[in-house]
Structure 1
Amino acid sequence: MTQFQRFLAKRLAISVLLTLVAVSVIFVVLRLLPGSPFEALVTSGNLNQQQINEIRSMYGLNQPLWQQYVSYMGSILTFEFGYSILRSQPVWSVLEPRLVNTLILLVPALVTTAVLSSSLGMYVGWNRGSFLEKFSIISTTFLRSTPVFITGIFFIIVFAYNLELVPAFGMRSVTASPEGYAETFLSVDFAYHYVLPFTVAVLYYSGDFLLLARNGVVEKRGSEFLKLHRAKGLSEMQQLARAGRNSMLPILTYFALRLGMIFQGLILLEVVFGWPGIGRELVLAIQQQDYPLVQAAVFIMALAVIIANLAADVLYAYFDPTVSTNGSGSA
């Protein structure tokens, strides 16, 4: 087994352990919450105590805690998420469209801002001290540090209410009833509702990629290999292209990490724009204490983040020869 294979096996083992810890924490935290998912139903008179006991037995909530944990681990790790308590639907049928809605919004936004902000960051890093560098750093840092719901509300007030250019909320018009993903996402109505949350998400992500790209080019600008290229007569843009290419690794690994975190959704963004994503659905499920729905949603989010971290570690170890895979520092 090579050194890289041992490194990969070690990272895989750590990822499996983290997954087990994450799903265990989900189980414990949900059981520590006060109340139960049936309190509202009892209070409203929709169910009596005998019916509640029957439902608790059906979901295994009347079993000892350790038996619930064993059953829970078996179902989660085999991706058998069961049925939502309050919706009486399979959990995956509830989460799948919400997850798709989140990915449709955030993946294109992340890709767009990664390309545009990284390109701009490389350019301003190469032209250090320019007005464009100062303006871009200040503006993107301001957008990144401002809570996303504040930016979202500002855009709604300006573009939806004052200028009336785009709708303020939702993913489609109230009267629209598309069938299937093609009709849902490939329509003018969807694009009309998509513009505002997409723009806010792009601006929110822009600062990190711009600063990473800018700092990478600044570090590479005085390096020996660029002096050699300059001596060979390469133009400024050709030198910038080579400096940018050699500073891409931090951007790629950060992109992998962000891609994993996208599965959580931008909860505040989804709430502000009324976007039916997985983050908004998770908030509602926690409020209703819908155990199977919360457990499945958090498990998917945690697994995505753990896989993304694993991918980032592997990218660094594989592409950067200065990164040691045996736990020691570089030579």
Structure 2
Amino acid sequence: MMSFRRFLLKRIAISIVLTLVSVSVIFLVLRLLPGDPFSSLIASGGLSLEQVEELRAQYGLDEPIHVQYVKYLQSLLTLQFGYSLAQTRPVTEILFPRLLNTLILLVPALVTTAVVSSLLGMYAGWNRGSLFEKWSIVTTTFFRSTPVFITGIFFLMIFAYWLGWFPSFGMRSAIANPEGPVEKYVSMDFAEHYFLPFITATLYYSGDFLLLARNSVVERSGSEFLELHRAKGLSDMEQLARAGRNSMLPLVTYFALRMGMLFQGVITLEVVFAWPGIGRALVQAINQKDYPTIQAAVFIMAVAVIAMNLFADVLYAKLDPTVSAGEGEM
């Protein structure tokens, strides 16, 4: 018990340090870039130098960098991200709805992939050398190795532009006017916009789960406990079920890790399909040098990734106590 507590405290401390490093790097990078959000206003003649200096003072950009950094950390700790420089409204009003849109797209895609690809991978591993195994490995490896934006553009060209079966961008039609949060995400119009990005994300994630499940079953197919089940006269499907159950540890822990990498590829996916998520909001904020929005978006993504990796470490240590015991002895 003591070794697990020590393991947990160590992982929490590492997660806090990683979060601090991530948010500090983005703060410094933004300040080291030439110009600021208001420099273009002078060049275009939209505002005078005095007016721009007033704006810089209003948003605290005229203060020493260490003062800005302290205020920046305070805003992150209190989740008070301030106002967008480009849209002049609270950053939370911009990002939180976008974050929900991203999660609605990616979480179902990841869960669907984890379940379906794991089952297919187990079946492929049990039928080693079959045509199904060969084609499943080739197909999933192809989509996993192909950049997600290439797959997205390919699907748009075929199903949106050539065949016209699905809309080419956005989360709903311009004429759609949902009356509430349920109608916003539960309608045929939303489903039509949702299908292509959902399939693209699902195929992108599928290779890892299928290969991991397939390899786990292959490793266990010749084990002694399965030989015992064969001797008892169990059918192939019953043996596969038991082999699959013993393969769940790496699959469960990898699923938690994959949740931590949920935002991997989300920016290009949302840009290709013009999906109004947090990744696309980050791209727009970078183009506008909108410091508060960029900082908040990176903070949210970093916390999500680090928290889910922490969860994966803890889950693995719970499922396999030798992990925490081994670190406790170090």
TM over 0.5: yes
The structure-2 alpha-carbon separation of the partners of 1:325 and 1:282, relative to structure 1 and needing over 3 Å to count, comes to farther
Superposed counterparts of 1:2-41, under 5 Å: 2-41=2-41
Superposed counterparts of 1:242-253, under 5 Å: 242-253=242-253
What secondary structure does 1:165 align onto? coil
Range that drifts further, 8-17 or 226-235: 226-235
Does residue 99 (structure 1) correspond to residue 99 (structure 2)? The answer is yes
Q: Quick check: 1:265–1:278 contact (8 Å CA) kept in 2?
A: no
**Cα distance in 1 for residues equivalent to 2:189 and 2:65:** 48
**Cα distance in 1 for residues equivalent to 2:126 and 2:322:** 24
Range that drifts further, 135-144 or 243-252: 243-252
Amino acid corresponding to residue 230 of structure 2 in structure 1: R
Q: Quick check: 2:6–2:328 contact (8 Å CA) kept in 1?
A: no
Deviation of residue 161 (structure 1)?
1.6
The structure-2 alpha-carbon separation of the partners of 1:325 and 1:58, relative to structure 1 and needing over 3 Å to count, comes to farther
**Cα distance in 2 for residues equivalent to 1:67 and 1:147:** 41
Does residue 319 (structure 1) correspond to residue 319 (structure 2)? The answer is yes
Range that drifts further, 321-330 or 68-77: 321-330
What secondary structure does 1:98 align onto? helix
Deviation of residue 145 (structure 1)?
0.6
Amino acid corresponding to residue 138 of structure 2 in structure 1: I
Amino acid corresponding to residue 226 of structure 2 in structure 1: L
Tell me, which stretches of 5 or more residues in structure 1 are unaligned? none
Name the counterpart of 2:108. 108
**Cα distance in 1 for residues equivalent to 2:279 and 2:319:** 34
Name the counterpart of 2:68. 68
Question: Which digits, 9 at most, give the CA deviation of each residue in 1:307-331, with x for residues without a partner?
Answer: 111111111111024434342799x
What secondary structure does 1:118 align onto? helix
Range that drifts further, 311-320 or 43-52: 43-52
Name the counterpart of 1:183. 183
Tell me, which stretches of 5 or more residues in structure 2 are unaligned? none
Deviation of residue 265 (structure 1)?
5.9
Range that drifts further, 46-55 or 65-74: 46-55
Superposed counterparts of 1:137-216, under 5 Å: 137-216=137-216
Name the counterpart of 2:234. 234
Q: Quick check: 2:121–2:209 contact (8 Å CA) kept in 1?
A: yes
Amino acid corresponding to residue 286 of structure 2 in structure 1: I
Q: Quick check: 1:19–1:302 contact (8 Å CA) kept in 2?
A: yes
Amino acid corresponding to residue 67 of structure 2 in structure 1: Q
**Cα distance in 2 for residues equivalent to 1:218 and 1:277:** 39
Name the counterpart of 1:269. 269
Deviation of residue 43 (structure 1)?
2.9
Taking only the aligned residue pairs, the percentage that are identical comes to 68
**Cα distance in 2 for residues equivalent to 1:73 and 1:21:** 12
Name the counterpart of 2:77. 77
Q: Quick check: 1:149–1:268 contact (8 Å CA) kept in 2?
A: yes
What secondary structure does 1:45 align onto? coil
Amino acid corresponding to residue 245 of structure 1 in structure 2: R
**Cα distance in 2 for residues equivalent to 1:228 and 1:208:** 30
**Cα distance in 2 for residues equivalent to 1:26 and 1:155:** 34
**Cα distance in 2 for residues equivalent to 1:94 and 1:74:** 20
Deviation of residue 264 (structure 1)?
5.8
Q: Quick check: 2:81–2:91 contact (8 Å CA) kept in 1?
A: yes
Q: Quick check: 2:254–2:312 contact (8 Å CA) kept in 1?
A: yes
Q: Quick check: 2:3–2:324 contact (8 Å CA) kept in 1?
A: no
What secondary structure does 2:170 align onto? coil
**Cα distance in 2 for residues equivalent to 1:264 and 1:158:** 25
**Cα distance in 1 for residues equivalent to 2:263 and 2:81:** 17
Amino acid corresponding to residue 302 of structure 1 in structure 2: A
Q: Quick check: 2:170–2:273 contact (8 Å CA) kept in 1?
A: yes
**Cα distance in 2 for residues equivalent to 1:254 and 1:137:** 18
**Cα distance in 2 for residues equivalent to 1:322 and 1:118:** 25
**Cα distance in 2 for residues equivalent to 1:242 and 1:46:** 70
Q: Quick check: 1:261–1:301 contact (8 Å CA) kept in 2?
A: no
Name the counterpart of 1:310. 310
Question: Which digits, 9 at most, give the CA deviation of each residue in 1:66-99, with x for residues without a partner?
Answer: 1111111111122111111111010110001111
Q: Quick check: 1:37–1:290 contact (8 Å CA) kept in 2?
A: yes
TM-score of the pair, normalised by structure 1? 0.95
**Cα distance in 2 for residues equivalent to 1:79 and 1:250:** 35
**Cα distance in 1 for residues equivalent to 2:47 and 2:247:** 61
Q: Quick check: 1:267–1:279 contact (8 Å CA) kept in 2?
A: yes
Number of residue pairs matched by the alignment: 330
Question: Which digits, 9 at most, give the CA deviation of each residue in 1:174-196, with x for residues without a partner?
Answer: 11232442121011111111111
Amino acid corresponding to residue 5 of structure 2 in structure 1: Q
The structure-2 alpha-carbon separation of the partners of 1:41 and 1:67, relative to structure 1 and needing over 3 Å to count, comes to same
Q: Quick check: 1:84–1:91 contact (8 Å CA) kept in 2?
A: yes
